[in-house]
Structure 1
């Protein structure tokens, strides 16, 4: 097994080789959406970077199963600006585009704004050191995204239906030879909101997200990202997963996922 989710191609800087660590729970041949979302974040942050700017929102559209195969990741600046910029990134396999993302990049205030303390986001969740050792993830695959991350439940569990509070950190870099950025860590973790807060039987039902939107009012400090997640299902087969994002210092932002609910 390799020690990264993706290996950069030595002959093509846009091309990345997917490893077994990207494998998801739905098919042995398809990736969990967390690693490719983080890979999109990886190329977005490297697209015409500007000092004093930071990505504040990423909206990922999942166009189909992402194969365990070489991927081409590209990003471009769609709308330049003095204060706010729009970026776009695409992930392609040999079959064509499999994921797309738009990101808003904001100029950070300098000096900082005089926001009254009582209006600043506050709150906390029990830290990862207070959570018990992880349970066994419900997967028949010996290697996959579930083995590429460390997770600790402060409330709920994979096998207990309903809301959950789960801490996640990467065991390996997203791209070999690099250190995961705060944005990469957040995108990789946030896609698990529907998994940690699942309400349907894993053996009988599918609850696959078609998208992932992450809005961050600040980026996480440290390796751990906390998901305080709830899944809101409807019997007609459309659901929503909502996730409040935290680190050990407090709130970071929100993640949402639109869900396709169906029988296996």
Structure 2
């Protein structure tokens, strides 16, 4: 089995070969949106990097199924500035664009701002070492679910409803690199609708059309926790939202718009 979600192409720095670890739960031929979102984060961070700046928000649009095939990932700065800049990234297969993302990169305060302590984000979670690993229910022998580790502190895949779940990458997003905090967060955040599912997987599809992650800081360490809840509606549109944590406290929020439909 591959030891990374994507393999870089030595002949083309923008081209990445998808491995079986990217496979999602809906089709054996399509990727989970977590790995390609993280791949977009990978190229965004490498796009004209600026010391003292950090990505504060990434909005990913899923234009269609992402095939298990070679992908081209490119990013460019489309709005530059002294304190904030906007980066746009596109992920394409041989059929054309399959995902797009925009990211705001912001200048970090130097020196750090003297802010009222009582208004700074705080919070404690049950740590991943104190919980047991759980396997994602999938018919696929190899996929995203085998490339990451899930540890629930509340809820489970077998229990419908809100859940808190720690997620850790077992492998790098791109072979030969160490996953950045942003890559880890994007890969984990796309599982919000899965860990907090409220509908029977065998009877319904609940596929996200997008992923928006807003971070007031980047995670420390390998684990990202999702305090996730899914809000379905009878008309077939839903929302999954997650509060994001690491082992030291809150990070930010993520949201996913959901298409809900009966399985045919």
The answer to whether structure 1 residue 262 and structure 2 residue 264 are counterparts is no
Maintained 8 Å contact 2:213/2:254: yes
Q: How far off its partner does 1:132 sit?
A: 2.0
Aligned-residue Cα RMSD (Å) equals: 0.5
Task: Please name the residue that 1:127 is paired with.
Answer: 127
The answer to whether structure 1 residue 2 and structure 2 residue 2 are counterparts is yes
TM-score by length of structure 1 reads: 0.99
Task: Please name the residue that 1:186 is paired with.
Answer: 185
Please give the residue correspondences for 1:62-211 in structure 2 after superposition, counting only pairs within 5 Å. Answer: 62-134=62-134, 136-211=135-210
Q: How far off its partner does 1:124 sit?
A: 1.5
Maintained 8 Å contact 2:133/2:149: no
Q: How far off its partner does 1:156 sit?
A: 0.4
Following the alignment from structure 2 to structure 1, what is the Cα–Cα distance between the partners of residues 149 and 156? 14
Following the alignment from structure 1 to structure 2, what is the Cα–Cα distance between the partners of residues 42 and 190? 15
Maintained 8 Å contact 2:9/2:17: yes
Q: Which stretches in structure 1 are left out of the alignment for 5+ residues?
A: none
Query: What does the per-residue CA deviation read over 1:101-148, in whole Å, with 9 as the maximum and x for residues that have no partner?
Result: 0000000000011111000000121110111231x3211000000000
Query: What does the per-residue CA deviation read over 1:166-194, in whole Å, with 9 as the maximum and x for residues that have no partner?
Result: 00000000000000000000000000000
What's the secondary structure of 1:102's corresponding residue? strand
TM-score by length of structure 2 reads: 0.99
Runs of 4+ in structure 1 deviating by more than 6 angstroms, as ranges, are none
What's the secondary structure of 1:188's corresponding residue? helix
Task: Please name the residue that 2:249 is paired with.
Answer: 250
Following the alignment from structure 2 to structure 1, what is the Cα–Cα distance between the partners of residues 194 and 181? 21
Following the alignment from structure 2 to structure 1, what is the Cα–Cα distance between the partners of residues 127 and 239? 26
What's the secondary structure of 1:100's corresponding residue? strand
How many residue pairs get aligned? The number is: 263
Query: What does the per-residue CA deviation read over 1:149-171, in whole Å, with 9 as the maximum and x for residues that have no partner?
Result: 01100000112100000000000
